[in-house]
């Protein structure tokens, strides 16, 4: 949208006046798919629980978990119909559980697009596990040298 303003004409509209012209997100989810599959609901819920935990190494793995969630929900096109409450005992155990569940979901998937998304999500979780284990090794080495 272009605004043409000439000296002496009315002032340009303020940001509040322009908001009616801007696109607003819609709450209509007709294009989105709410998936009630128990494995999918559990995987997304586990990812949310892992993202919410504040255990040691959390900051290092959080970007990978966010990318895994984005892939798993197909960037918002496939959503769980609900979340289940999951308690994460340790960050590493939770990520290993998630990686195993994603592996099972890949082998059971019959839709190519979902299979590719699941594989990408699993790669991000594996990178998170690697980042978590390398952080622990670095912390252990620095503790031993002090």
> For 77-93, what is each residue's pLDDT tens digit?
889 999 999 999 999 99
**What's the pTM?**
0.70
Residue 118 CB neighbours (<10 A)? 25
3-state secondary structure string across 55-90: CCCHHHHHHHHHHHHHHHCCCCCEEECCCCCCCCCC
> For 37-71, what is each residue's pLDDT tens digit?
999 999 999 999 999 988 888 899 999 999 999 99
């Amino acid at each position: 949208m272009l605004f043409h303003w000439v000296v002496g004409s009315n002032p340009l509209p303020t940001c509040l006046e322009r908001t009616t012209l801007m696109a607003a997100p819609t709450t209509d989810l007709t294009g989105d798919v709410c998936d009630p599959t128990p494995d999918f609901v559990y995987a997304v819920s586990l990812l949310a629980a892992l993202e919410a935990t504040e255990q040691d190494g959390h900051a290092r793995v959080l970007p990978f978990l966010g990318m895994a969630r984005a892939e798993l929900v197909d960037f918002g096109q496939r959503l769980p119909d609900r979340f289940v409450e999951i308690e994460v005992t340790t960050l590493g155990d939770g990520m290993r559980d998630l990686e195993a569940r994603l592996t099972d979901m890949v082998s059971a998937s019959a839709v190519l697009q979902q299979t590719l998304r699941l594989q990408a999500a699993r790669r991000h979780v594996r990178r998170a596990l690697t980042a978590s284990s390398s952080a622990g090794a670095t912390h252990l080495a620095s503790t031993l040298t002090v």
